[in-house]
Amino acid sequence: MAGPSWGCTCTWALLVFVAELIAAGLNLTFAGGLEGRRIEWGTDARLVLGLLGFAILANAAVVFVEAGLHVSLDDNPSRYELFYDLGILRSSRP
């Protein structure tokens, strides 16, 4: 079957990127109503900042687990190196 599959990381990255663009566009669209008065940090803004912070921390954690204690990796890592570095999983390759 040609085309990207739903299991492909690139497909999910594209979907998240498009969702972020839509969210940013909606924020910019409705921000004009806030001009001329004091801006309060409401529940929506705190929720968006919390989700952004969570996404950043989750990505950092996944990159650390995937890279392990290595400074450089292959272009397309095939396993989570940290589990092998700590001896949680055993490697069949040298």
The tokens describing 20, both together, are: 């972020």
Question: pLDDT grade, residue 1 (50/70/90)?
Answer: very low
Residue 88 tokens, joined: 């949680």
| pLDDT at residue 21 in the model | 94
Q: Note whether residue 13 is domain-resident.
A: no
- Is residue 34 assigned to a domain? no
- Answer whether residue 38 shows pLDDT above 90: no
Answer yes or no: is 6 within a domain. Answer: no
Question: Confidence class of residue 65 from pLDDT cuts 50, 70 and 90?
Answer: confident
Q: Contact 34/49 with Cβ under 8 angstroms?
A: no
Handedness of CA 37, 40, 45, 50 (dihedral sign): positive
CA distances from 13 to 7, 25, 35, 40, 61 (A): 11, 18, 34, 32, 16
Which residue has tokens 């190196």? 81
> Does residue 20 lie within any of the structural domains?
no
Q: Which of 7-11, 47-51, 79-83 has the lowest mean pLDDT?
A: 7-11
The answer to whether 42 touches 29, Cβ cutoff 8 Å, is no
Average pLDDT, the chain: 80
* Domains contained in the chain, number: 1
pLDDT, tens digit (0-9, with 9 covering 90-100), for 68-85: 877 777 777 777 788 888
84: its two tokens: 């092998």
Range of the domain at 75: 45-94
